[in-house]
Amino acid sequence: MAVFSYSWVDEHGHRHSAVAASESRAQLERKLDLEGKVVVSIGQDRGATSAVATPKRTVGERKVPRRELSELCTFLGTLVRAGVSIPTALRDFSQETKHPWFRYVVEQVYLAVEAGESLAGSMEKFPRVFSEELRGMVKAGERSGSLPEALGRVRAHLDWQERLSGDIRQATTYPVVVSLLLSVFVLYLFSSVVPGIAKILVDLKVPLPLVTKIVLLISDLVKEIWWLVVVVVVAAITGIAQGRKRSEGFRLAWDGMLLKLPVFGELNSMIAQARFSQNAAVLHRSGLSILENLELCHGLVGNAVFARALSFALRDVREGGSLAQSLRGSGIFSGMAVRMIAAGESSGDLDRSLDHVAAYYEEEVPRKVKRVFAIVEPMLIVTLVAIVGVVAMAIFLPILGMSSGVRQ
């Protein structure tokens, strides 16, 4: 398929330029004539030929910040609601965005839509940019004739995801930074400071109490194998990431362990249920069936245990069972969520029930995140004080013993 650049004059005498994909120049001329455009010139854009079908490999496919996607949804929804065609809105946005990769993506989507593809179908060429849930909502909006409303729901959902991620980042930044600094401090303390002081004590032939001997033993061990500790930590992190990626059994075991952790287990469960309820509410409101909804939500909860429960729920609903009963049988969804979903199923108002569950978790998850990490911060401080206190005691006890011996 060739891509042509053309210019036309509107009813006010203003000249415009654009590009369009078409099988031939004659076919494009007929199309523009049917649209009532007064064409001034048409020429084939050699550099853009077949650009619709094949993305630039030199650019590399990668994700786009949620903020950019939210701006696209706002821009498209506003212009389409005002009567502007989707191709024109896409072309205008590609000229507005400052993100180079996203500009290229939107240009390719524009060319595909201009060639006659649906907006959701055009987005499928970039699965890392436009997630499956986003494409599903857009597809439902196109199918029901309510694309501006669907884009508005996508934007609201992206904003919710950004707020949740922001709350988690804000709450975890301080503990993570303190933990890293604490690890570096302990490594330096036991590999450099303690050995120097130990040498002085040994040269003075001071009797060493038990706590000092233990600290010196740890110091010698750290000094000898600190590199092995670093290697083991890096290997463990890499191994866990690869295990979750490649093995379903490992992913289930690891995510199940995360749900059983003291303090953090409940938080992980709430985050997974928040993702399910929010995604399910948005998708159901967009017009997707409950089966399509569960199929999409399966990959969006971020926890393999919850994903498996939703897979079982999909099977049960497909066989005529109840969604609420299936979720209750999993034993991992909260009683409140199950009761709300059961009420929605019985009343035929499932989207409103899902909205209530999503609204609850939207308020509760940020509070829970802050409460959990409010506990973590003092624990880190106490750990730091305890380490420094033990090392100080190990150093000063021999000195005190030596000074008391001198006085005698």
Residue 267 CB neighbours (<10 A): 20
| Per-residue model confidence as pLDDT tens digits over 275-294 | 888 878 877 877 778 888 88
pLDDT the model gives residue 381? 83
With both helix axes pointing from N to C terminus, report the angle between 304-318 and 290-297 in degrees, rounded to the nearest 10: 160
Beta strands in 10-169 (DSSP E): 15-22, 38-44
Residue 226 Cα to chain centre, angstroms: 34
pTM: 0.63
Read off the tokens for 152: 């508005």
| Per-residue model confidence as pLDDT tens digits over 340-395 | 999 988 888 887 888 888 888 878 887 887 787 778 778 888 888 888 888 888 87
Q: How confident is the model at residue 13 (pLDDT cuts 50, 70, 90)?
A: low
| Per-residue model confidence as pLDDT tens digits over 101-156 | 898 899 889 888 888 888 988 998 888 888 877 887 788 788 777 788 888 888 88
| Per-residue model confidence as pLDDT tens digits over 293-314 | 888 787 778 888 998 999 999 9
Q: How confident is the model at residue 40 (pLDDT cuts 50, 70, 90)?
A: low
| DSSP letter assigned to residue 299 | T
Residue type, 351: D
Q: Which residue is it, tokens 């299936």?
A: 326
